[in-house]
Structure 1
Amino acid sequence: MRKLTVEEKKQYDELGYVVVPDFFSVDVLSEINQELDNCESPAQPSGEHEGFTYQLAMLTDKTKQFAHDDRILNLLEDIVKPGIAIFSSKLLTKLPHSPSVCHWHQDDAYYTEVVNSDTRMSIWVPLQDTDERNGCLWIVPGSHKQGLQPYTVQNNGTCRKALVEEQVDLSTAQPVPMKAGSMLLFNALTWHSSKGNETDHVRRAFIVSYQEATVPLGRGKQHIVLRPA
């Protein structure tokens, strides 16, 4: 089971994110996609939570195994410490030709309402290839170093606790296209967003947020210590 290389860890620390290519096999992704096709808990149809399926790691045995996978935990152990716990998990589905955007935001704008963490971060695993046409993530490199920013609540799209765009510099924002099976690791303070899906095909992303095991709370019953401190 591999760990982050020195260069990957350096990029994560300096830029607030890193992409680990070809982490999961096509067979694993096919199993997860099939599981989600048969899932009894559909994504929210509209409003702020449009496209989200929450508590994903608790939904089925396969989604639980995915979020608890030791290969992921080994990769994270130099970032999330001491110990590793799940804060929350979700699926974000962009339906074909959905114009819904995820506004520029920081995850910790939501998460610090529950509890603070020094190492909280998320994995973002596309179950289909993602690019600018179907809603890949956009990120501002290094933005995590500026700490938690003020936000304003938008009345459309998702991720509505949006950064105040007139007060932040988004000029260095860049798309992060990814192949299915690659995995993005990003800090909970990193500024990120996504646009709509212009294609004829669904776009799914499996998202799990982890934090150090010494933090006593997470998003309700989703909080599970996987590796004690």
Structure 2
Amino acid sequence: MNTTTPRLTADQVTQYQTEGYTMPDGPVFSQEKFDRLFNHFEKKLAEWPYDERPEAMDTPHFSDPALNEWALAPEVVDLVEPLLGPDILLFSTHFICKPKGDGRRVPWHEDSAYWRKLLDPMEVATVWLALDPSTKENGCMYVIPKSHNTGKKGFSDYEDVDTNKSVFPTEIIKSHRKDELAVPCELQPNHCSLHDARTQHGSAANTSDIRRCGWTLRFVPATVRLNPEFQDRQLMYQARGKNLLNQPLADPTKDYTHVNDLRRRLNVKAH
């Protein structure tokens, strides 16, 4: 299926290319379609293991193919086609749900740092879809513009941080960041931001009385290849166009719970 109504303006495409992020206009889904996604997530959250943090709902679509109704929807893929071209694969998704009161901070990081040996080349566009209001008060994401084009280009140096307070165990060292340039990506439910995998971003803890949940949907052009050594990540889905490298692709109607089980056994805690 080809895009018939561009979802990004020319200025937004330019901003993404030069700044490493952009904020599309308007809601992503119809209200009815978004409400069904929201209710579906609420059921998942209610069944989430009590001993696992709700910020850690990584690759939920592997074991819940119903999510692909939204992850592969034209309303979403239309957002990334102007950035990636017509041949697109869904690489990953992640619910990052910060509970009210004690939602953990997301340390400054580049998504690419988690995938440096997994993807070749490193070209990923993330759709950050708000399920709840995402504001400065409840821990919205901040991005550092143009950080995707720094000398490090997505591979800064990292240091350990307190895992009792942070979603991830490491953070970009301060000398490799320009925190004073950080921009908040405040969003209402059913609205989204887009960012490049190499863009530095993070978010504060949620100490407010309002939950903050977002769903990241990560897409790559079909010219990107997965490293077969990573057996816990060998699932990509055709989102649009052609499978240019003839890679093995997942069936969006099939349950791959065994892959998430493998990830748990390997203690994989990343994007």
When the two structures are superposed, what TM-score results if normalisation uses the length of structure 1?
A: 0.89
1:225 equivalent in alignment to 2:233: no
1:42 equivalent in alignment to 2:51: no
When the two structures are superposed, what TM-score results if normalisation uses the length of structure 2?
A: 0.76
Q: 1:208 corresponds to which residue?
A: 217
Q: 1:32 corresponds to which residue?
A: 37
Q: Tell me, yes or no, if the aligned pair for 1:131 and 1:178 is still in contact at 8 Å.
A: yes
Structure with more contact order per residue of length (Cα contacts < 8 Å, sep ≥ 6): 1
Map 1:11-160 → 2, pairs under 5 A: 11-21=15-25, 22-39=27-44, 42=48, 45=51, 51-81=55-85, 83-146=87-150, 147-148=153-154, 149-156=156-163, 157-160=166-169
Q: Tell me, yes or no, if the aligned pair for 1:103 and 1:159 is still in contact at 8 Å.
A: yes
Between 125-134 and 36-45, report the one with greater CA deviation.
Answer: 36-45
Q: 1:183 corresponds to which residue?
A: 192
Q: Tell me, yes or no, if the aligned pair for 1:44 and 1:52 is still in contact at 8 Å.
A: no
Q: Identity of paired residues, percent?
A: 20
Q: Tell me, yes or no, if the aligned pair for 1:139 and 1:175 is still in contact at 8 Å.
A: yes
Q: 2:256 corresponds to which residue?
A: none
Change (3 A) 1:44 1:69: farther
Extract structure 1 runs of 4+ deviating beyond 6 A. none
Aligned-residue CA RMSD in angstroms?
Answer: 2.2
Q: Distance in 2 between matches of 1:134 and 1:27?
A: 25
Deviations 1:9-38 (A, max 9, x none): 011111111111322233223211211122
Q: Distance in 1 between matches of 2:103 and 2:122?
A: 35
Letter in 2 for 1:178: L
Q: Distance in 2 between matches of 1:108 and 1:135?
A: 22
Q: Tell me, yes or no, if the aligned pair for 2:116 and 2:122 is still in contact at 8 Å.
A: no
What displacement does 1:225 show? 2.6
Q: Tell me, yes or no, if the aligned pair for 1:81 and 1:119 is still in contact at 8 Å.
A: no
Change (3 A) 1:89 1:17: same
Aligned residues: 227
The runs of 5 or more residues in structure 1 that have no matched partner are none
Q: Tell me, yes or no, if the aligned pair for 2:123 and 2:224 is still in contact at 8 Å.
A: no
What displacement does 1:75 show? 2.3
The runs of 5 or more residues in structure 2 that have no matched partner are 245-271
